[in-house]
Structure formats: C-alpha cells, structure tokens
Amino acid sequence: MISKRFDHRIEHVTIPFKTQTTGVLFKSTEVTLEPDLVQLLQHDTFKAVLGPLGAEGWELVSVQSLCRGETQIGNQNAQGWAYGFAMPVGYLLFLKRETQS
C-alpha cells in the first residue's frame, strides 16, 4: 500500500478598501467600509498569488474569509442605538501539494 504525503501552506490575500477624501481647506483621506473590487480584480490579486504557487505544484483546497467586527454606537436625542456586523477584510487560501517521499 502506497501512502501519499502532503505539504500544506496558508496564504493571505487582503481586500483593498476604497478611500475617501474629505475637507476643503484641510484635506484628509480615510478608508471607507466599501471594498474596492475593481482594484482587487484588475490587479489580478488572486492570479498573482495563485499563479506562481500553481507552477510549484500547490493545489488550492479551500478558501476562508477573514473578518473583523465593525461596530457603531451612538446617542441621538437621548435614544441609544448601536449596530455591529462582521466585515470581510481578506481571505485565507489553504493549499497542499504532494511530497516526494
């Protein structure tokens, strides 16, 4: 019976977020909560990561989103309000390749 052995690897791909410039006299740039999908896809982010790994024999097994908690708490007219949600900020790519043993 031949048993197969595998190497395992985890890569991280960050989701870029759109930025917004505010202010007239004193301009400031801040990151919004909206993902910049154009930048993510046009720059071939996944292809740039997966291309070289595929050439080395790595096989993509699974993808898991990586989230952060986003919360907002406010008080308007003495009525408290709050909301929270999990926001994806990147992906973990799980890969494997067979070892020569």
AA letter at 3: S
Q: Per residue in 21-44, pLDDT tens?
A: 776 677 777 878 888 888 877 777
Please, is 93 exposed, middle or buried when counting C-beta atoms within 10 Å of its C-beta (0-12, 13-18, 19+)? Answer: buried
* pTM of this structure: 0.72
Domain boundaries, the chain: 6-98
Mean local confidence (pLDDT), 76-92: 84
Strands (E), the chain: 6-14, 17-22, 28-35, 59-76, 79-98
- CA 78 from chain center: how many Å? 37
